Amino acid sequence: RKEVEQDPGPFNVPEGATVAFNCTYSNSASQSFFWYRQDCRKEPKLLMSVYSSGNEDGRFTAQLNRASQYISLLIRDSKLSDSATYLCVVNDDGGYNKLIFGAGTRLAVHP
Amino acid sequence: NAGVTQTPKFRVLKTGQSMTLLCAQDMNHEYMYWYRQDPGMGLRLIHYSVGEGTTAKGEVPDGYNVSRLKKQNFLLGLESAAPSQTSVYFCASGGTGWVNTEAFFGQGTRLTVV
């Protein structure tokens, strides 16, 4: 079983749609969770951290369910500029704080 | 601000050749990482370092070596390149503390082994 699993997509949605991505992780000791965004042939960049109580940043909402070892990202009112690959990232709390990446979910927003 | 800088950005190697990829960060981060990214595979951790003079193996360390002689630099070496090492390599650095802070990435090195 992969340490971090994501639905690879692609998700093809029209502008204005709401889309949700899911991610599961295997290490119950993981402490930190993130969503990164990666544009084609570019480096990943932090989109948002994910907190236990859930958090929102504009059109983006992240949720964490520790019991189910499940993370989600909700994007409301999708824009063309949201087209990218979204990477779920989990801190492997084995004492060395290494970041483990999911394979990513590709989103394509069309007019 | 430079952030994380990788050199070179592109390279073509012949099978059996060696090379070193350099990663430099100017944010005084303790943690540094080397990842490779292949189509459909996401980023896979090769090696990482939690401080100057330390290194540790990640998920796919075979065929690679690393060194962290200075806090700001993390070198990735390929002793004898193989076509299976054709990939995009990303270096990243992150802050200190028990709970990881944001990781910052370099722009990547596109390596082709023929």
The chain B residue lying nearest A39, using CA atoms, is B107
Which chain A residues are within 8 Å of B108, Cβ to Cβ? 41-43
Q: Which pLDDT score, from 0 to 100, does residue A52 have?
A: 84
Report CB contact under 8 Å: B31, A91. no
Report CB contact under 8 Å: B42, A102. yes
The chain A residue lying nearest B43, using CA atoms, is A101
Report the alpha-carbon angle A33-A48-B76, nearest 5.
70
Q: Which residue has the higher pLDDT, B100 or B69?
A: B69
How many Å lie between the alpha carbon of B69 and the closest alpha carbon of chain A?
Answer: 19
Of the listed ranges A6-15, A44-53, A86-95, the least confidently predicted one is A86-95
- List, for residues A65-110, the tens digit of each pLDDT value: 999 999 999 999 999 999 999 999 988 766 566 788 899 999 999 9
Torsions phi, psi for B20 (to 5 deg): -125, 130
Determine the distance from the C-alpha atom of residue A26 to the mean position of all C-alpha atoms in its chain, rounded to a whole number.
15
Which chain A residues are within 8 Å of B106, Cβ to Cβ? 43
Partners of residue B66 on adjacent β-strands: B76
What does the H/E/C string look like for chain B? CCCEEEECCEEEECCCCCEEEEEEECCCCCEEEEEEEECCCEEEEEEEECCCCCCEECCCCCCEEEECCCCCEEEEEECCCCHHHCEEEEEEEECCCCCCCCEEECCCEEEEEC
How many Å lie between the alpha carbon of B48 and the closest alpha carbon of chain A?
Answer: 8
| C-beta neighbour count of B93 within 10 angstroms | 26
- List, for residues A14-32, the tens digit of each pLDDT value: 999 999 999 999 988 888 8
How many Å lie between the alpha carbon of A37 and the closest alpha carbon of chain B?
Answer: 12
Report CB contact under 8 Å: A87, B43. yes
pLDDT at A63 over 60: yes
